[in-house]
Every structure is written in structure tokens, then in C-alpha cells.
Structure 1
């Protein structure tokens, strides 16, 4: 039986917003948005992979908090690959786009203003529940 390849993602939360990262590569995904993260190495705990990937991609140290929803199959990566997302908090450092085109902090009302990768879409509603509601406009 083939071992499941776990791709980890971090819904990094700060001040009622979540961090979104714009892909630089591969070319077919360039410009699309994702939750930062990457593949767990063989024998590496997914939570440890999340911390490592955020350090490599963002130059920041995060702490995984809670898994968000069920795993999402990643058939484009492999027949037994899944995306597993956690909420996470910043422990140290300010995220920088070391491997991405750009980073954005999105509020609940802004979650649908960027073009997400298909695998990240199922996580938007549960992540949105962790965000501050859009501010009421007073005129």
C-alpha cells in the first residue's frame, strides 16, 4: 500500500486576518493564491513540516493550532496525496514572500477577492469563521 503524501498548509492568523500567498511557480499556477506550506518529508510529522515550510517560505516561525476540516485530495500531486490545513499563529518574525510573488493579509470580507488554488477553496469557509467579521460601514 502506498503511503499518503501529506502537503501541509498554514492559515496564519493575525488581528482577525489570514495570510494568503501568491504562487510564483510552477508557471501554470503563477499568480494564484494559496495558504503557505509544502510537502512533509518522509518520516516528518505534518506539524513539524508546517513549521519548517513557513520558516523556509516566509522567514517566520509559526505554531500550529488546530487542523481545519478534513484532508483535501491532491490528485494533481499524486494518487495518494492530500492537503492538510492548520490554523497557526506567528511566534517570531514578520512574514516575507521569500518563495512567493506577494503576501496579503485578508479579512473575512476579502477572502473571495483573490484567485485561490482549487485545493484551498474547501478551506475558505472554515477559515473565514476564525476571522473578524467585515467592519460595519457607517455613513
Structure 2
């Protein structure tokens, strides 16, 4: 699949980023999720009862809002890959770093092993795949062609 043409790599990269954007935006409802529902969900997945303190509620809800906003930003990145190329690379590198960091943190704080494996097992390859697709998207055999330039600027 390393012979993937730049145009197809762009389409796949855009799709992958948009899929991630949607997943991230799914966190928005948790901002206003009733405490009882949030606690029930935590118990159901084996995390036990949640702390009913203002600090916990603040952190849980602001983190959900932050994930959702990252989803909006990711959607915007996918909308114009040439324009946001440096941020797409940052997104891929950040996903890899988060995969390593979150997995370590999950294990340190005592999250279930399956939680750590899913979180890191998702972020690491997704970040690597974003970087790989971005590299394929920007490669060309003709040094005079700037595949990052929008079509209107390249004269095509």
C-alpha cells in the first residue's frame, strides 16, 4: 500500500481525521450528563463509584468539553489538509505521545489493563497512520510540483 497515490492518501487522511473528530465530539453530551447516569456508567464498566465532589464534577465535565472542542478542531484540520499541514503532523505526533503517556498514566493510577490497552492501542497506531498518510499525501516524484498547494494556486 506504499504505492498509494497522493490523492488517495489525502482522501484516506481526511476520512481518518473526520472519524476521529466525530469520536471526540461524542464527549459533548457528558458535559451535561446527569451525575446519576455518569456514576451508573462508571459502575457498569467496572470503575466503581465516582467521587461526588465539586472538583471531580468540574474536571469530568471540562475534560468532556475539551475533548469535544478538539473534535471540532480535528474536523477543521481535515477540511483543508494543505493549509493545516503542520497541525496535521502535530496531531499525529500528539496522538502517538498521548498513546504512550495515557497508557502509562492509566497503569500508574490503577485503571483496568483493558482500558490502558484500548486507549494506547487506539492512539498509537492512529497517530502513526495519520503521519504515514500525510507523508504519502505530500510526496511527489516531480520536485517542481507542490502537492500541498491548493488546486487554485497550482494552476490545475
TM over 0.5: no
- Answer 1 or 2: which has greater strand percent: 1
Q: Identify the TM-score tier after normalising by the shorter chain.
A: under 0.3
TM-score of the pair, normalised by structure 1: 0.26
- Answer 1 or 2: which has greater helix percent: 2
TM-score of the pair, normalised by structure 2: 0.24
Give the number of the structure whose alpha-carbon radius of gyration is greater: 2
